[in-house]
Amino acid sequence: MDRNYQPRQQAPFIPDNFSSLDQVISALREAGLESSNLILGVDFTKSNEWTGRYSFNRRSLHAIGSSPNPYEQAISIIGRTLSPFDEDNLIPCFGFGDASTHDKYVFSFYPDHRPCHGFEEALARYKEIVPHIKLAGPTSFAPIINASIDIVDSSNGQYHVLVIIADGQVTRNPDVPRGRLSPQEQETVDSIVAASHYPLSIILIGVGDGPWDSMQQFDDNIPHRAFDNFQFVNFTKIMSENTETSKKEAAFALAALMEIPYQYRATLSIRFDNRELERGLARPLPPPREVIEHDNSIRSIPHMTNYETVQPTAPAEPVISSAVEPTCKDCGATISSCPMCRQPITTRLRLYT
């Protein structure tokens, strides 16, 4: 790391004795945060299958069940805290580290690259795609940071907060000499430095067992930045405290976001000129093929509500209801509301002659 690097400027002091997310939101407003736009990046590397050994009862950190996994918890808490500051409530959501992206690309949650509308949809879509994603690796945060830079670039410099949720630090092979960075580490550092020339804050949320020692060093020692734009938060450590859930959520939200007001004000002094830093578009890939195939299969199933099959006991007249004319079997299955009054169809009759 650069010995001439200036120490980070002190973020404004925000007390940490909150018991609810509403109190954290009020504190962020009082500290100067006016508006922000959220970007979400989710780690789909293979290590998620075993880094929940101690912190998630030996389950995959992406396991979907009756209780939320660490990714769901983090998305919900950050989403609830930042949504009051997001004017359009649109959240671009990306995955990385799976078999389709590895350490080179990111994929959008939707094939048409549309953002999620609010953190609730982000959560729902995450749960929808997780079972169809092949975890892989290695880990690099450069692709998601570069994709976020392009989002800020295309928004004419609106302030954004990139939240990366990951189960492990950037890949570093044992053969990398001491004092040197691995290719993935170097790419990540370069991307963080480049991002500091844009109104973009980066929050890395660590879930699972870790380790996180090099991420702490990233947080403290990345050189040559226009402003201190990177923050690491150990989700597992905070949420394992023996206290009320609401207090743990507030403590996590504060740890993740307490530097955001300072960073937001720091970006106001940046002269945003996209001609100064020419970048190639880091266009995200569509979701993996398995996700798209699942989406297509869902869309191909006709919407039917309370479909009833009536066994014939005697010849019947062709009557379906007083509101709808009879249809053939195939067409009737695709109609979900009355063409006349638009009321939902709750009962269907199969007629026999």
Residue-wise pLDDT tens digits, 270-303: 776 654 445 555 789 999 999 999 999 888 766 5
Report how far residue 162's alpha carbon sits from residue 273's, in angstroms, rounded to the nearest whole number: 20
Whether 91 is covered by a domain: the verdict is yes
Strands (E), the chain: 37-43, 90-91, 93-96, 107-108, 116-117, 160-166, 200-206, 230-234
Considering the domain architecture, whether residues 231 and 316 belong to the same structural domain is answered as no
Residue-wise pLDDT tens digits, 224-256: 888 889 999 999 999 999 999 999 999 999 999
* Residues 175, 189 contacting (CB under 8 angstroms): no
Whether 11 is covered by a domain: the verdict is no
Considering the domain architecture, whether residues 199 and 85 belong to the same structural domain is answered as yes
* Residues 95, 127 contacting (CB under 8 angstroms): no
* Residues 137, 46 contacting (CB under 8 angstroms): yes
The domain containing residue 33 runs over which residues?
Answer: 21-291
The C-alpha angle 203, 106, 119, rounded to 5 degrees, equals 55
User: Based on the structure, what is the number of domains in the chain?
Assistant: 2
C-alpha distances (whole Å) from 56 to each of 66, 99, 123, 151 are: 14, 24, 19, 34
Considering the domain architecture, whether residues 326 and 280 belong to the same structural domain is answered as no
CATH number of the domain at 97, please: 3.40.50.410
The DSSP string of 174-207 is TTSPTT---HHHHHHHHHHHHHTTSSEEEEEEE-
Show the DSSP H helices in 101-156 as ranges: 118-129, 142-154
Residue-wise pLDDT tens digits, 306-339: 434 444 444 444 444 444 456 655 555 545 555 4
Whether 166 is covered by a domain: the verdict is yes
Residue-wise pLDDT tens digits, 178-222: 878 889 999 999 999 999 999 999 999 999 998 887 777 666 668
